[in-house]
Structure 1
């Protein structure tokens, strides 16, 4: 079942006593994982916590896959992302960029204070890309003896998406085939399959985003109702549990390999 802290006890910061956290952090090449998500509308068929729950799920599963080989913990997620463009459709909780930047920096710095050699931010919301990049630079600069890293998890699946997708370009957009497949695999009870009211992704700028896993070089602000009345864009009707399983297992393998590489680089 998807949740905001469904990691196994062996890798969950929240389920670990303080002295054990310090012990894990003090080990050579220790890695702290911080999921970063959002609470925002995802159309009529997906929960507003989709981004946070998916970032948490891939972080936890990947950490569990390598927990026997390296010291790693996963913090509770930073659940409030930067989502002002979703507010008008309801269900969205967001904050000012500078507030979220300061909050995320504080979390990362507190993690480092527990002795961890590296902190990696696992982002699950496209609107957080600039935020995560700024935290990596700011905290990394202030802590040259440690390593701060960050990435958006669904970017890793770009090549696989071209193999498994049934929708045209744009079908993997917000609340579309990609996210709906993952939630169907992890917790199908959270998907209202009778309410998949989404519209095709129609970005007027040629250099704008083309899909969830194919962001364009041009940034533009536009409230989400300009794309879709329901708030979902893409082709959620093309989603399946089977596709979600393939995507999730691939992502878990890729991220687990990255955690191992971070451990090796910081020993």
Structure 2
């Protein structure tokens, strides 16, 4: 990411948003923070706050901790955007697990199905509300890059 950002900067692109589609990419936060300490203009989106705001605005009932993978938020997004990708039986697939050794054991240490969360709580309406919230907060992220503050 740093190499790509540097190449873009040399080509005249002095602001960059890294769009993170995976919650487990913790290293990206450090990469963006280090880049900004060197006077580059880089943002990471969506951030934890963006997801939490989207959860609240969509009326999700599960927490970000409990709803880790294929749970309420991800299934809601899929029900809204690509309902044909959601398998039958998601309503009965809830699986919540504490994961103290996730980085050592990986997902397979805690779930055989890939679900850690509550897909039974998912709806297309919640997915639409999550996406609308994320769209709004993305505009705020762009404003910070352009103006140094949210508009």
Common fold by TM > 0.5: yes
Instruction: Summarize the Cα distance change of 1:257–1:167 in structure 2 as closer, same or farther, 3 Å threshold.
Output: closer
- Give the alignment partner of residue 31 of structure 2, picking from 114, 135, 153: 135
1:110 and 2:4 correspond: no
Instruction: Summarize the Cα distance change of 1:157–1:109 in structure 2 as closer, same or farther, 3 Å threshold.
Output: same
1:150 and 2:44 correspond: yes
The runs of at least 4 consecutive aligned structure 1 residues that moved more than 6 Å come to none
- Work out the CA distance in 2 between the residues paired with 1:134 and 1:234: 27
Which residue in 1 is equivalent to 2:77?
182
CA contact (8 A) 1:126 1:152 kept: no
Taking only aligned residues, the RMSD between alpha carbons, in angstroms, comes to: 2.9
State the TM-score, normalizing by the size of structure 1: 0.48
- Work out the CA distance in 1 between the residues paired with 2:72 and 2:114: 14
- Give the alignment partner of residue 135 of structure 2, picking from 223, 235, 252: 252
Instruction: Summarize the Cα distance change of 1:184–1:171 in structure 2 as closer, same or farther, 3 Å threshold.
Output: farther
Which residue in 2 is equivalent to 1:232?
115
3-state DSSP of counterpart to 2:144: helix
State the TM-score, normalizing by the size of structure 2: 0.79
Gaps of 5+ in 2: none
Q: 1:1-267 alignment to 2 at 5 Å?
A: 104-130=1-27, 132-141=28-37, 143-144=38-39, 146-153=40-47, 155-162=49-56, 164-167=59-62, 172-194=67-89, 198-203=93-98, 205=100, 220-265=103-148
Bigger share in helix: 2
CA contact (8 A) 1:119 1:147 kept: yes
